[in-house]
Amino acid sequence: MYKYILSLTLVTTIICAEEVSTFGAGDLDAKNPYGLNASEKHILKNQKNIGNLSLQLNDLNSLIKSVNKRLEGLESIYEGDSSKLNDTVLKVNTLMEKVDISNEFKKKYERNLFFGK
């Protein structure tokens, strides 16, 4: 029984064991990795590409948020100006009606003076 446990432990250790480099060769997390095989180089390249894409995505998200805030500001300005313009148009219409009434009154007054009524 002891031999079986010992041999099982030994086989498991050999299967799970990795060759460790004393100088860090093959370490993908190192600043300047060296001694990489083709698949490790490809993985490292993909990691760098993903990092660059993540930065670009963050920049784009920030830009989109900024543009949305500016757009909301412009919408607010537009709504305010539209309201002011509407008020001005209503006032002008009221004044035009008063002017028209005044002109009609003036014409009637002048006619009455002319005809002596």
- Tens of pLDDT along 44-92? 889 999 999 999 999 999 999 999 999 999 999 999 999 999 999 999 9
Average pLDDT, the chain: 82
The model carries a pTM of 0.51
116 Rama class: left (phi>0) / alpha (psi -120 to 50) / beta: left
Q: How many domains does the chain have?
A: 1
Q: 65 is in which domain, residue-wise?
A: 2-115
Q: Who wins on pLDDT, 21 or 75?
A: 75
In the prediction, which pLDDT does 26 show? 59
In the prediction, which pLDDT does 23 show? 55
Q: How far apart are CA 117 and CA 105, in angstroms?
A: 14
In the prediction, which pLDDT does 113 show? 73
